[in-house]
Structure 1
């Protein structure tokens, strides 16, 4: 029988109150409370802690505090990631982030969701679906990325957008819901 962690990571209904999941979240919160108080000039210390928290942290990962996540271990960041202040990543499923990605302030990445039918939702089990952000992507400030979304390479998402569906590569997309505004020339 699969564990609640295995169910969570495979997109099945799972119980978030499971002791293993609670322990993982407590460990992440402990690291985050330390991370968010590291003095600005101690870049190496912040990089080291992100390496402990994330499932993968490439070179030059710069996350401005405060930063919040559920587990951290399901965040897989490639090289040259910049997250501005106050970003939130609910990583109940995998969050894969390509090279050279920039997050504006207050960007929120949500893999977590709940059943839509109230009778099912109030029973308690939750759902989570992976999010993939391609290479060379810029998420403008206040962007929200919803579960099960893929954002293609070289794409820019305008500030304040709510991304509910996949966005192709090489476009500028914005709005609520987010939609493609125009294609971007590649070099």
Structure 2
């Protein structure tokens, strides 16, 4: 399953033969709507836009790296995409796969109880628009330890509430993720 890297170095590398055999046993004939995704610390950044694009694929097959990684021929000749969930290294790609599966699944119609829930998530261009962070949320009670829910959320005016939430989403984004503002 794995072997030492050519040229020396630390760690073990997953061999190409078992990975190609596994994918080919699942998909004997590759079709364009079926994508193989390699999870790797050196892949392109996985974000909400990538998650949205994956919902348009008929099927995804995720390959989880392990040890020092996978033979480069897997990335070059088997994987259609190579993604990373962040600028850090995990022991294996299984946690990254769980992140990808959960992020993509919640965007598929019927997975969430309310179809519009995902539209207002952070980073979505729908909902608040502009790929902002989601706005803060409050629930009952209307007052807790002297801290009150903003009055606009209690007045029933949906247009005022929409504008208020978008304003707060912009403020939150500016505070915590100014890199998202263009």
Structure 2-normalised TM-score? 0.24
Larger RCO (CA within 8 A; separation ≥ 6): 2
TM normalised by structure 1 equals: 0.23
Q: Please state which structure has a larger fraction of its residues in strand.
A: 1
